[in-house]
Every structure is written in structure tokens, then in C-alpha cells.
Structure 1
Amino acid sequence: MKQRIAWITDSTAYVPDELRERHDIHIVPLDVIFEDGTYEDGFGLSPEQLYEKIDRAQTVPTTSQPSVGKFLKLYETLADTYDCAIAVHLSSRLSGTYNASLNAAGMVDFPIEVVDSQIVSYPITALILKGIALAERGVDFRAIAAALREEAAKNENYIVIGSLSQLHKGGRLSSAQFFLGNLLQIKPIFRIRGGVVELFEKVRTESKAVKRILEQLEAARKKHRITEVQILHGNVLEKALELKESITARYQDIHVLIGPLSSVLGVHGGRGTLALTWTNEPREQE
């Protein structure tokens, strides 16, 4: 008999409603904290409202991880229905969410595997989907969690920051850097490696930044099997669609998914942010 596995993640993952309902994925929200109050990520604020509030705010809103108590309450409830659970969370080096989930898991008489995705957004969802496929084949939940931890290291991603003002207000750019960056139309490209955000390159203009991340996709494709890429955007769907068109025109065998950045990620990247991410699979599997 197959194990009844509960799947849990946090709100930084991009999980479309249809996918969430079909697989009964439980999402624990982080909080976005503005001067006028606290909002649960994914609830109460549309992407348009979020960026309008960010633009008007004098200080950068902050974000907060879910409490241990919030996870504990969920796990106690799931124990009544499921045999076990697998929770996949954003990088433990970017947030305390993973540790809060892990601590709560240790407080209940219910077997739970907690997986550090080492990433954020849709790659978390991709891991969950791979886990669900393994579960449907009858693989034990502990073996599934172990496989997902190995799979997490295969992700490659590039993030073109949409708003230098957001970095400036958040203290990541000095006033001089902010002024010079705007003057020269600097677009920093970041990536997440080993669970940590690092600067990949600084380029002039957004078009050159997009060209650069497409070059990285081409380089990765020469070495790995890539069947799907994900484009995440900060309330700029039209730019995401343009990027998709560039990819599909060149690679007919790559499926492209588009989705919005969560509120928590939008707070840090700002309106206009574009991210391109994929999984590098070994070619010998072809």
C-alpha cells in the first residue's frame, strides 16, 4: 500500500492553484511587514497592490518567517489524515523558515522529512513534483526526501534586478552607487548558489542583461539536458512573455513556464525583476 504523504512548502514557492488543489499541497505563508501592518504572503495583497505599496513606502518593508507554532499546528492536523509528510522550503541560508519547520517536526509524533531546497520560487515546486512522481511509484518517503536533496544541487538560476531604488532603500547600495547605477543604466544580475545570493555580473541596460542570461542558458544546454525553464517576474508579464518568445524561438524542445514572484521575493527584487531558472540533468539520461 502506498504511503499517504502530505506535501508542505512555504509561500516563496510558486504553486499555481490548479497544482495546489490537484496534489493537496499545503502552503505556510511568510509575512510581509509594512508600516501600516503585516500581510501574509499570497493573501490580502495582489501583485499590483504590493508594488504600489512598495513604491509609496518611505522605508523598505521587511519580511518574517512563519513561527514554529504555525508549523506545529499544521503538522498536528496532518497527522490525523496522513502517514507521513515531506516539507520542502526555501534556502535555509536565506530564511529561518526551514529551521522553524524542522523544529516543529521534532515536536510531533508524526514522521516528517524537511528538505532544504537551497533555492526559492518555482524550483521548490519542481522538487515537490519530482517527489510526487516518486511517491506514485511507491518509493518510501525517506528515500524521496534524500533524492530531492540531491536534486536541489542541479538548479541554475539568474535574476535581473528590476529596481535599484529597492536595493538602495534596503541598504544594499550606497547613495553614490545608486546615482551612478541609474546614470549608467546598470543592471545587476544575481544568482543563488549553495543556497546563498551572490552577484553574478553587472551589465549596462536591461536588454544586455537578458542577453547575458540567455547566453548562460545556451552554455548550460551544451553540457546538460534541459527540458524546462521557468521565468519569474515582478509584475512585468509583458517582459516575461518577450523572454519566453526568445527562448521558444530558439529551443523548440524546451517547455517554458511563467509565473509571478511571491510578495516576499518582490519586496527584495522590486518591480520589474526577471528571473530565469532551470534544472541541469545529466545527458546520459537521454
Structure 2
Amino acid sequence: MDKRQIAIVTDSTADLKDEWIARYHIHVVPLDVIFGEQVFQDRVTLAPEDFYRKLDETDLLPTTSQPSTARFVEVFSALCAQNYVVIGIFISAKLSGTYQGALTAATMVQGDITVFDSTTTTAALGMQVIEAAKMAEAGEDKNAILRRLDVMVGHMDAYIVLDTLEHLHRGGRIGGAAKFVGTLLQVKPILYLKDGSVDVFAKVRTTRKALDFLVDQVAKVCDGKQNVEIFVIYSLGADVEGYVATVSSRIPHATVHTTMIGPVVGNYAGSRSLGLVVHVED
């Protein structure tokens, strides 16, 4: 009997480039992005660049919504009908109901479906998805892939330096007084994504100092490690090429990639934000 093939499914918050999706045959279920009465499918009917333009042009605070159960059922059913073993890797359950929605959908479809909580999002989720897809392509079985994902979860960190406090304020994450003082003093918060939740890692005055501080912190984590992979994540208007050069100079043994931050994180980050997602193993 031939070994059944494995299909990898994720959601659009993984911020995967189209060429990676095509190269590794990844199936992406989009979240919805809502501007007032307009509903868009993330990266399907609304590109990240257009999201940031709309964000800057409107006073409306956009929201994001998890995919419907029906959307998951459609994807899972199509793959199971082709006799695939399905592994779904999704945004942290603490950040979105997407993971729970996928679990519910999996119970409604006849087939071998495993739903995995990445405990993260953006490029940190994307790294897990690409690794799983590479392993599936190489013929590894489901259990080996899930064991590898468990290891990766414990060796990943994600940080983002915000250019403005405006979107945190509009989203209710900080008060008006904090926004005023922070803006006056040019305070740039560095957000940290770990164990499924987002917290403030540090507050540094000026963007340049915050970005340099972040590289220094990551360089310490990577020091003496051989297997270092870094994603520079960015939103529209950020000097991504300049930051890639800085990161590559400070951490020359790292493999450095880039990807644009999608709406779920971008909703609070806003334009001109930069961050680092780091995967380090001995």
C-alpha cells in the first residue's frame, strides 16, 4: 500500500509570500479584514500593501475575524477527498479563535486531520509551516512532523518596534495620556510575542535606538549558536533593506529573510514598523 501524502494547511496570518505557498504546496485559509461595512479576505481580496494604505487613510479602526467554520470544512473536505493526511498549523489560540474554529471543522470532516496551535503568528507561524511542508515533501510521517513542530515552538521569539502609538491607542491598548507622553518623548515600544501572547518587551526613545537595541538583544540570543534563522518583518513604508543590512552585519552567521506583516499584527503596528522573528537551535 502506498504511503499517504501529507497536506499542510495554515491561515493567512502566517504572512507567507506567494512563491513559498506555491513552492511548498501550502493551503492557506484567509481571515477576514473588516473596514466599516466592507469585508475583505486577507491576502485574497486585500493585499497587505493596500491594507496599510487604507489604515492610514481612514479614521475607522479595522477589525479582523477568524475564518468561518464552513471555510475550514471546505478546505479539509477537499483534501481528505483526495486521501491526504492533513496537518493544520494555525495562529496562537490566545490571539484568535482561528485554531478553535479549525478544531471544530475537523470534527465535521471524515479524514485524518490534526490541528496544531503554533502559539504564535506572522513569520514565526510561517517558519513552522514551511518546515512542516519541507518534511512532508521529504516523506516524513505525521508524528515526526508534529514532534518537530513541538521543538520549534520552544525555540522561537518574535519582536516588533512600533513607529507610532496611534494604532495601539485606537485599539484601546493604551490611554490618551500615555499616547501623548509617548509621542512627545518619541517613545518606541518593542512588542514581544511569546507563549501565545503579546506583551511589551521594552520602551526605547527614538526608532533608531529601538531598532539597534533589538538587534543587540537578538545578537546575544544568537551568540555561539550555529542554526540561526531570522525573519525581518515589516509594514509599509519601513526601511526594510537598511535593517536587513544591519541585522546581517551584526549577526553574520544567520540566514535572513523578509516578509511583510499582515493585517492581524499590522492593525496595531501600523505603517513603518519593523521587527525580528528569530529561530535558534543548538
Regarding TM over 0.5, the answer is yes
Summarize the alignment of residues 229-244 of structure 1 with structure 2, pairs less than 5 Å apart.
229-237=230-238, 239-244=239-244
Q: How far apart, CA to CA, are the structure 2 residues paired with 1:138 and 1:46?
A: 33
Match for residue 167 of structure 2? 166
Q: Is the 8 A contact 1:32 1:41 kept in 2?
A: yes
Q: Percent identity?
A: 34
Summarize the alignment of residues 4-153 of structure 1 with structure 2, pairs less than 5 Å apart.
4-153=5-154
Shift of 1:254: 1.6
Summarize the alignment of residues 178-217 of structure 1 with structure 2, pairs less than 5 Å apart.
178-217=179-218
Shift of 1:56: 2.8
Q: Which runs of 5 or more structure 2 residues have no equivalent in the other structure?
A: none
Aligned residue pairs, count: 281
SS of residue in 2 equivalent to 1:187: strand
Q: Is the 8 A contact 1:6 1:82 kept in 2?
A: no
Q: How far apart, CA to CA, are the structure 2 residues paired with 1:193 and 1:5?
A: 28
After superposition, give the CA deviation of every residue in 1:234-254 in whole Å (9 maximum; x if it has no partner): 1135x1111110122233322
Shift of 1:219: 1.0
Q: How far apart, CA to CA, are the structure 2 residues paired with 1:208 and 1:33?
A: 34
Match for residue 268 of structure 1? 268
Match for residue 277 of structure 2? 277
Shift of 1:67: 1.3
After superposition, give the CA deviation of every residue in 1:113-139 in whole Å (9 maximum; x if it has no partner): 111111111222211222233334433
Q: How far apart, CA to CA, are the structure 1 residues paired with 2:87 and 2:210?
A: 37
Q: How far apart, CA to CA, are the structure 1 residues paired with 2:64 and 2:223?
A: 38
The amino acid that maps onto 2:259 is G
Shift of 1:3: 2.7
Mark the CA change 1:241 to 1:88 in structure 2 (over 3 Å): closer, same or farther.
Answer: same
Q: Is the 8 A contact 2:34 2:64 kept in 1?
A: yes
The amino acid that maps onto 2:8 is W
1:220 matched to 2:224? The reply is: no
1:175 matched to 2:180? The reply is: no
Q: How far apart, CA to CA, are the structure 2 residues paired with 1:98 and 1:264?
A: 14
Q: Is the 8 A contact 1:8 1:88 kept in 2?
A: yes
The amino acid that maps onto 2:177 is A
Q: Is the 8 A contact 1:94 1:195 kept in 2?
A: yes
Q: Which runs of 5 or more structure 1 residues have no equivalent in the other structure?
A: none
Shift of 1:223: 5.4
Mark the CA change 1:2 to 1:125 in structure 2 (over 3 Å): closer, same or farther.
Answer: farther
Q: Which moved more, 1:148-157 or 1:196-205?
A: 148-157
The amino acid that maps onto 1:66 is P
Shift of 1:147: 2.4
| CA RMSD, Structure 1 to Structure 2 (Å) | 1.6
After superposition, give the CA deviation of every residue in 1:52-102 in whole Å (9 maximum; x if it has no partner): 221232231111001111101111111122331111111111001011111
Mark the CA change 1:251 to 1:201 in structure 2 (over 3 Å): closer, same or farther.
Answer: closer
Shift of 1:156: 1.3
The amino acid that maps onto 1:267 is N
Shift of 1:6: 1.0
Shift of 1:164: 0.8
The amino acid that maps onto 2:70 is G
